A = this chain, B = another copy of it.
Protein backbone atom coordinates (compact mmCIF):
# COMPACT_ATOMS: atom_id res chain seq x y z
CA UNK A 1 0.00 0.00 0.00
CA UNK A 2 2.82 2.36 0.80
CA UNK A 3 4.46 1.95 -2.59
CA UNK A 4 1.11 2.61 -4.23
CA UNK A 5 0.63 5.80 -2.26
CA UNK A 6 4.12 6.92 -3.16
CA UNK A 7 3.48 6.24 -6.83
CA UNK A 8 0.27 8.25 -6.67
CA UNK A 9 1.89 11.16 -4.87
CA UNK A 10 4.62 11.24 -7.49
CA UNK A 11 2.06 11.81 -10.24
CA UNK A 12 -0.02 14.41 -8.43
CA UNK A 13 0.17 15.16 -4.72
CA UNK A 14 -3.10 14.65 -2.83
CA UNK A 15 -4.31 16.13 0.43
CA UNK A 16 -4.42 13.75 3.38
CA UNK A 17 -8.15 13.51 3.00
CA UNK A 18 -7.99 12.83 -0.73
CA UNK A 19 -5.26 10.26 -0.28
CA UNK A 20 -7.12 8.44 2.42
CA UNK A 21 -10.36 8.36 0.42
CA UNK A 22 -8.48 7.20 -2.63
CA UNK A 23 -6.47 4.55 -0.81
CA UNK A 24 -9.60 2.87 0.42
CA UNK A 25 -10.75 2.19 -3.11
CA UNK A 26 -8.01 -0.32 -3.88
CA UNK A 27 -8.23 -4.11 -3.67
CA UNK A 28 -5.23 -6.35 -3.36
CA UNK A 29 -4.27 -9.65 -5.03
CA UNK A 30 -1.38 -12.00 -4.34
CA UNK A 31 -0.99 -13.91 -7.56
CA UNK A 32 0.86 -16.98 -8.75
CA UNK A 33 2.86 -17.28 -11.96
CA UNK A 34 0.52 -17.09 -14.97
CA UNK A 35 -2.45 -15.86 -12.97
CA UNK A 36 -5.04 -14.22 -15.21
CA UNK A 37 -6.23 -10.82 -13.99
CA UNK A 38 -8.31 -10.03 -17.04
CA UNK A 39 -9.75 -12.43 -19.57
CA UNK A 40 -10.20 -11.63 -23.21
CA UNK A 41 -13.76 -10.59 -24.17
CA UNK A 42 -14.71 -9.36 -20.72
CA UNK A 43 -15.04 -5.73 -19.75
CA UNK A 44 -12.00 -4.51 -17.90
CA UNK A 45 -13.08 -3.11 -14.56
CA UNK A 46 -9.74 -2.25 -12.99
CA UNK A 47 -6.75 0.00 -13.19
CA UNK A 48 -3.93 -2.05 -11.74
CA UNK A 49 -0.75 -1.22 -9.92
CA UNK A 50 1.96 -3.84 -9.60
CA UNK A 51 3.76 -3.52 -6.31
CA UNK A 52 6.10 -6.43 -6.90
CA UNK A 53 6.28 -8.81 -9.82
CA UNK A 54 5.70 -8.72 -13.56
CA UNK A 55 2.47 -8.46 -15.52
CA UNK A 56 2.00 -8.71 -19.24
CA UNK A 57 -0.84 -7.56 -21.40
CA UNK A 58 -1.36 -9.42 -24.67
CA UNK A 59 -3.81 -10.21 -27.40
CA UNK A 60 -4.21 -12.40 -30.45
CA UNK A 61 -3.60 -11.10 -33.92
CA UNK A 62 -3.65 -13.43 -36.93
CA UNK A 63 -3.53 -16.40 -34.63
CA UNK A 64 -0.50 -15.38 -32.63
CA UNK A 65 0.06 -13.73 -29.31
CA UNK A 66 1.12 -10.11 -29.32
CA UNK A 67 2.45 -8.69 -26.08
CA UNK A 68 1.23 -5.13 -25.90
CA UNK A 69 2.71 -4.10 -22.62
CA UNK A 70 4.91 -5.40 -19.82
CA UNK A 71 4.59 -3.84 -16.36
CA UNK A 72 7.20 -4.26 -13.65
CA UNK A 73 7.33 -3.35 -9.98
CA UNK A 74 5.92 0.09 -9.34
CA UNK A 75 3.94 0.57 -12.54
CA UNK A 76 0.28 1.11 -13.37
CA UNK A 77 -1.37 -0.81 -16.18
CA UNK A 78 -4.79 -1.40 -17.67
CA UNK A 79 -6.69 -2.21 -20.81
CA UNK A 80 -7.14 1.38 -21.91
CA UNK A 81 -9.89 0.93 -24.46
CA UNK A 82 -11.95 -1.50 -22.46
CA UNK A 83 -11.63 0.35 -19.17
CA UNK A 84 -12.59 3.76 -20.49
CA UNK A 85 -15.06 2.78 -23.16
CA UNK A 86 -16.63 -0.03 -21.11
CA UNK A 87 -16.39 -2.42 -24.03
CA UNK A 88 -15.22 -6.06 -23.97
CA UNK A 89 -11.44 -6.23 -23.99
CA UNK A 90 -9.53 -7.97 -26.72
CA UNK A 91 -6.67 -8.02 -24.22
CA UNK A 92 -5.70 -10.59 -21.65
CA UNK A 93 -3.68 -9.59 -18.59
CA UNK A 94 -1.66 -12.07 -16.58
CA UNK A 95 1.11 -11.94 -14.01
CA UNK A 96 4.06 -13.94 -15.26
CA UNK A 97 5.74 -14.09 -11.85
CA UNK A 98 4.14 -14.47 -8.42
CA UNK A 99 3.12 -10.86 -7.83
CA UNK A 100 1.46 -8.36 -5.55
CA UNK A 101 -1.11 -6.34 -7.42
CA UNK A 102 -3.51 -3.58 -6.44
CA UNK A 103 -6.55 -2.61 -8.44
CA UNK A 104 -9.22 0.05 -8.30
CA UNK A 105 -12.62 -0.58 -9.84
CA UNK A 106 -13.82 1.67 -12.62
CA UNK A 107 -17.00 2.68 -10.83
CA UNK A 108 -15.19 3.44 -7.57
CA UNK A 109 -12.60 5.50 -9.38
CA UNK A 110 -15.18 7.49 -11.30
CA UNK A 111 -17.15 8.08 -8.14
CA UNK A 112 -14.03 9.33 -6.37
CA UNK A 113 -13.08 11.50 -9.34
CA UNK A 114 -16.55 13.02 -9.25
CA UNK A 115 -16.37 13.72 -5.55
CA UNK A 116 -12.79 14.97 -5.35
CA UNK A 117 -11.47 17.50 -7.79
CA UNK A 118 -7.91 16.52 -6.89
CA UNK A 119 -8.55 12.89 -7.81
CA UNK A 120 -9.96 13.98 -11.14
CA UNK A 121 -6.75 15.93 -11.66
CA UNK A 122 -4.66 12.92 -10.69
CA UNK A 123 -6.54 10.80 -13.19
CA UNK A 124 -6.07 13.43 -15.87
CA UNK A 125 -2.34 13.45 -15.21
CA UNK A 126 -2.14 9.68 -15.33
CA UNK A 127 -3.90 9.59 -18.66
CA UNK A 128 -1.71 12.38 -19.98
CA UNK A 129 1.46 10.55 -19.00
CA UNK A 130 0.10 7.47 -20.70
CA UNK A 131 -0.68 9.45 -23.83
CA UNK A 132 2.85 10.85 -24.02
CA UNK A 133 4.25 7.34 -23.66
CA UNK A 134 1.94 6.07 -26.35
CA UNK A 135 3.10 8.77 -28.74
CA UNK A 136 6.75 7.99 -28.07
CA UNK A 137 6.14 4.31 -28.63
CA UNK A 138 4.40 4.96 -31.91
CA UNK A 139 7.31 7.05 -33.10
CA UNK A 140 9.66 4.28 -32.07
CA UNK A 141 7.77 1.60 -33.98
CA UNK A 142 7.48 3.76 -37.04
CA UNK A 143 11.04 5.01 -37.34
CA UNK A 144 13.48 2.97 -35.32
CA UNK A 145 14.96 -0.28 -36.55
CA UNK A 146 14.43 -3.51 -34.63
CA UNK A 147 17.99 -3.17 -33.38
CA UNK A 148 17.48 0.35 -32.07
CA UNK A 149 14.30 -0.62 -30.28
CA UNK A 150 16.01 -3.50 -28.55
CA UNK A 151 18.92 -1.36 -27.45
CA UNK A 152 16.58 1.28 -26.12
CA UNK A 153 14.77 -1.38 -24.10
CA UNK A 154 18.09 -2.62 -22.75
CA UNK A 155 18.89 0.89 -21.62
CA UNK A 156 15.53 1.96 -20.24
CA UNK A 157 14.29 -1.33 -18.73
CA UNK A 158 17.16 -3.80 -18.42
CA UNK A 159 15.04 -5.68 -15.90
CA UNK A 160 12.55 -6.69 -18.56
CA UNK A 161 15.26 -8.41 -20.53
CA UNK A 162 16.30 -10.36 -17.45
CA UNK A 163 12.91 -11.37 -16.16
CA UNK A 164 10.74 -11.84 -19.23
CA UNK A 165 10.94 -14.64 -21.87
CA UNK A 166 12.22 -13.48 -25.23
CA UNK A 167 9.03 -14.55 -27.00
CA UNK A 168 7.13 -11.92 -25.07
CA UNK A 169 9.81 -9.29 -25.51
CA UNK A 170 9.91 -9.83 -29.27
CA UNK A 171 6.27 -9.02 -29.87
CA UNK A 172 6.44 -6.22 -27.32
CA UNK A 173 9.12 -4.69 -29.55
CA UNK A 174 7.02 -5.38 -32.62
CA UNK A 175 9.37 -7.94 -34.14
CA UNK A 176 9.51 -11.72 -34.45
CA UNK A 177 11.32 -13.96 -32.05
CA UNK A 178 13.77 -14.95 -34.76
CA UNK A 179 14.72 -11.37 -35.54
CA UNK A 180 15.24 -10.64 -31.87
CA UNK A 181 17.43 -13.68 -31.53
CA UNK A 182 19.60 -12.56 -34.43
CA UNK A 183 19.93 -9.08 -33.01
CA UNK A 184 21.07 -10.47 -29.70
CA UNK A 185 23.59 -12.87 -31.22
CA UNK A 186 25.50 -10.20 -33.08
CA UNK A 187 26.57 -8.35 -29.95
Q: In the assembly, what is the distance between CA of A158 and CA of B104, in Å?
A: 41
Contact with B along A140-180 (1 / 0, CB 8 A): 01110000000000000000000000000000001000000
A141 touches B141 (CB 8 A): yes
Q: In the assembly, what is the distance between CA of A121 and CA of B114, in Å?
A: 8
Contact with B along A114-148 (1 / 0, CB 8 A): 10010011011001101110111110011100000
B127 touches A81 (CB 8 A): no
B130 touches A121 (CB 8 A): no
Q: Shortest distance in angstroms between A140's beta carbon and chain B's nearest beta carbon?
A: 10
B residues near A143, Cβ cutoff 8 Å:
61-62
Assess whether A47 is interfacial by the CB under 8 Å rule: no
Assess whether A4 is interfacial by the CB under 8 Å rule: no
Number of copies: 2
B residues near A36, Cβ cutoff 8 Å:
none
The 8 Å CB contact of A132, one of B85, B113, B141, is B85
**Tally of A interface residues using CB under 8 Å:** 27
**Which residue of chain B is the closest to A120 with respect to CB atoms?**
B120
B127 touches A131 (CB 8 A): yes
Assess whether A80 is interfacial by the CB under 8 Å rule: yes
Assess whether A29 is interfacial by the CB under 8 Å rule: no
B121 touches A81 (CB 8 A): no
12 contacts between A and B (CB under 8 A): A61-B143, A80-B131, A81-B132, A84-B128, A113-B124, A117-B120, A120-B121, A124-B127, A130-B131, A134-B135, A138-B141, A141-B142
Q: Which residues of A contact B (CB under 8 A)?
A: 61-62, 80-81, 84-85, 113-114, 117, 120-121, 123-124, 127-128, 130-132, 134-138, 141-143, 174
7 tightest CB-CB pairs across the interface, nearest first? A124-B124, A117-B117, A134-B134, A131-B131, A138-B138, A127-B127, A120-B120
